[in-house]
């Protein structure tokens, strides 16, 4: 189960998408998220779907891999969909007891599901094609101007990079702890919600203890390698904006324009 979570995992490669400047990719992603919220009709989602399909093809990541990233969030998406489906007021099309489905409900639910799906697909595409260090680099350089007004840009990016680095490690560890507890008779699948939540405690306690121990050792190891905060730090990776970055920006502007046009044109 733990291996299914692709969110936050990097899929190494050397494609146009991988080589895009991380700053571009972050800005494109922010624009993309904003656009998903702007879309007001299904034509807009077709534009987004085209964007995602083309990006995945260019990145040469097996589509299955990207879609797998949706699996852990699926429950959340379904619940959101159902809530919207049953709890939206309006013109009733189907009713059974207290449950009723409205025309607006169907529309809303479909929108919510699509919106969440596209958000996850887009963001996992960002982390799949950008190494955490270059993601961090990009974030750092985007935030750096704000460090003059007291924003801890380097610390934030370092924290993020380390968090991403430890996701697979801690996943593996959780898996191991779960198996160890299950071997001693712990039951995670049966019982009421409260019982199952309680069953998580023997997983979380050792996981936290081990995470603190890891953090301590990592801090020492970082000090041993002359880590001294962001002052005077250089980077192996040079960030240089290329033509392809401009192209990506233009694409985003075109998509935004298309979505706005479709919002106005199709009522």
Residues in contact with other proteins by CB under 8 A are 10, 12, 131-133, 161-162, 164-165, 168-169, 172, 214, 217-218, 220-228, 232-238
For the bound state, the minimum distance from the C-beta of residue 242 to other proteins, rounded and expressed in Å, comes to: 17
For the bound state, the minimum distance from the C-beta of residue 17 to other proteins, rounded and expressed in Å, comes to: 16
Cα–chain center distance at 101: 31
Two tokens at 101? 């489905």
Residue closer to other proteins by CB (options 87, 221) is 221
For the bound state, the minimum distance from the C-beta of residue 4 to other proteins, rounded and expressed in Å, comes to: 15
Residue closer to other proteins by CB (options 187, 217) is 217
Q: Which of 124, 117, 16 is nearest to 65 (CA)?
A: 124
Q: Which of 154, 131, 114 is nearest to 14 (CA)?
A: 131
Residue closer to other proteins by CB (options 170, 182) is 170
Question: Per DSSP, which regions of 143-236 are E strands?
Answer: none
For the bound state, the minimum distance from the C-beta of residue 164 to other proteins, rounded and expressed in Å, comes to: 6
Residue closer to other proteins by CB (options 36, 136) is 136
Task: Kindly give the residue spans of alpha helices, DSSP state H, lying in 39-152.
Answer: 42-59, 63-68, 74-87, 103-129, 132-143
Residue closer to other proteins by CB (options 42, 65) is 65
Cα–chain center distance at 63: 16
- Cβ–Cβ < 8 Å for 18, 59: yes
For the bound state, the minimum distance from the C-beta of residue 226 to other proteins, rounded and expressed in Å, comes to: 4
Residue closer to other proteins by CB (options 96, 224) is 224
Residue closer to other proteins by CB (options 99, 227) is 227
**Cα–Cα distance measured from residue 54 to residue 43, given in angstroms and rounded to the nearest whole number:** 17
Burial of 58 from C-beta contacts in 10 A (0-12 / 13-18 / 19+): middle
For the bound state, the minimum distance from the C-beta of residue 132 to other proteins, rounded and expressed in Å, comes to: 5
- b/e map 7-42, b = 16+ CB within 10 Å: bbbbbeeeeebbebbbbbbbbbbebbeebbeebeee
For the bound state, the minimum distance from the C-beta of residue 264 to other proteins, rounded and expressed in Å, comes to: 43
Two tokens at 48? 């987004």
């Amino acid at each position: 189960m733990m291996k299914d979570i692709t969110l936050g995992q990097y899929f190494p490669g050397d494609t146009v998408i991988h080589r895009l400047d991380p700053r571009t990719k972050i800005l494109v992603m922010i624009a993309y998220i904003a656009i998903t919220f702007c879309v007001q009709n299904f034509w807009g989602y077709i534009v987004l779907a085209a964007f995602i399909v083309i990006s995945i093809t260019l990145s040469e990541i097996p589509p299955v891999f990207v879609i797998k990233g949706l699996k852990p969030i699926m429950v959340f998406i379904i619940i959101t969909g159902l809530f919207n489906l049953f709890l939206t007021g309006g013109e009733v099309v189907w009713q059974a007891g207290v449950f009723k489905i409205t025309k607006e409900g169907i529309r809303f639910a479909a929108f919510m599901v699509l919106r969440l799906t596209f958000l996850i697909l887009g963001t996992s595409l960002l982390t799949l094609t950008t190494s955490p260090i270059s993601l961090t680099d990009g974030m750092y350089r985007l935030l750096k101007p704000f460090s003059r007004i007291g924003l801890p840009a380097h610390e934030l990016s370092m924290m993020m990079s380390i968090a991403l680095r430890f996701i697979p490690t801690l996943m593996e560890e959780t898996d191991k702890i779960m198996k160890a507890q299950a071997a001693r008779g712990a039951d995670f699948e049966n019982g009421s919600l409260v019982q199952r939540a309680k069953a998580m405690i023997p997983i979380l306690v050792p996981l936290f203890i081990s995470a603190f121990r890891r953090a301590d050792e990592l801090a020492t190891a970082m000090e041993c390698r002359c880590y001294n905060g962001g002052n005077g730090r250089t980077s192996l990776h040079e960030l240089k904006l290329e033509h392809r970055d401009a192209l990506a920006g233009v694409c985003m502007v075109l998509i935004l324009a298309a979505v706005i046009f479709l919002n106005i044109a199709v009522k």
